[in-house]
Amino acid sequence: MGCLPKITRAEKMEAHKNYMLVANHTSMLDIMLMLYVSKNPFVFVGKKELAKIPIFGFFYKRVCILVDRENPKSRAAVYKRVQARLQQGLSICIFPEGGVPESDVVLDRFKDGAFRMAIRHNIPIVSMVFYDCKKRFPWEFFSGAPGPLRVKTFPFVPTALLDVSDTQMLKQQTWQLLYQELT
């Protein structure tokens, strides 16, 4: 495809340790790039609506923890499914924007889920920036171009000393870190 990843890592993930992986979301390519970046096995938490996309949805619903964001019971059930996956030794990946933002938005507002889950399950946050996915594989047909896929991971943020009441602070710090890097 002509898109070679170039990764700058602040830290190396330890084998057999759980992490919360978060990154900006601009393209379908983000999903494949995340699979390449993380050497540790993980599962995505994603919105249920994507399971309706032909072909993609078939695979998506088999490898993701699906959440219906409009249904409080579905959102609550995600915590139990995440706990089960963590016990299996998997990390969790959430794109905290909750979807791909409008084309002129650098970084959309983050949802709470990734940060609340990281705190509740006491797993460090691995924040990363995907710089080029939108350029390489945008949503518009017949656009995009081959080239590098640059990724930067930041120092991991431990959550052991945090409480669920710290969710907003952690979410805002992470958003600010990614936003500053992207601008």
Report the predicted TM-score, pTM, of the whole model to 2 decimal places.
0.89
Q: Which residues contact 110 (CB under 8 A, 6 or more apart)?
A: 96, 97, 98, 171, 174, 175
What pLDDT, on the 0 to 100 scale, is given for residue 105? 79
Q: Is the pLDDT of residue 166 over 90?
A: yes
**Whether 117 contacts 154, CB under 8 Å:** no
Angle at 57 between CA 56 and CA 60, to 5 degrees: 90
Architecture of domain 5-182: 3-Layer(aba) Sandwich (3.40)
pLDDT reading at 40 higher than 90: yes
| Percent of the chain scoring above 90 in pLDDT | 56
Tell me what pLDDT residue 163 has. 96
pLDDT at 12 over 90: yes
At residue 24, the 3 state secondary structure works out as: coil
For the chain, the domains span: 5-182
Higher pLDDT, 50 or 101: 50
- Euclidean distance between CA atoms 131 and 117, whole angstroms: 26
Give the whole-angstrom CA distance, residue 70 versus residue 10.
36
Write the CB contacts of 122 (distance below 8 Å, at least 6 apart in sequence): 159, 160
What is the mean pLDDT of the segment spanning 64-75? 86
CB 22 within 8 A of CB 96: yes
138 confidence band (pLDDT: 50, 70, 90): low
Q: Which of 9-23, 33-47, 60-74, 168-182 has the lowest mean pLDDT?
A: 60-74
Q: pLDDT grade, residue 18 (50/70/90)? A: very high
178 and 140 Cβ atoms separated by less than 8 Å: no
pLDDT at 73 over 60: yes
* Paired residues of 64 in beta bridges: 44
Q: What is the pLDDT of residue 102?
A: 66
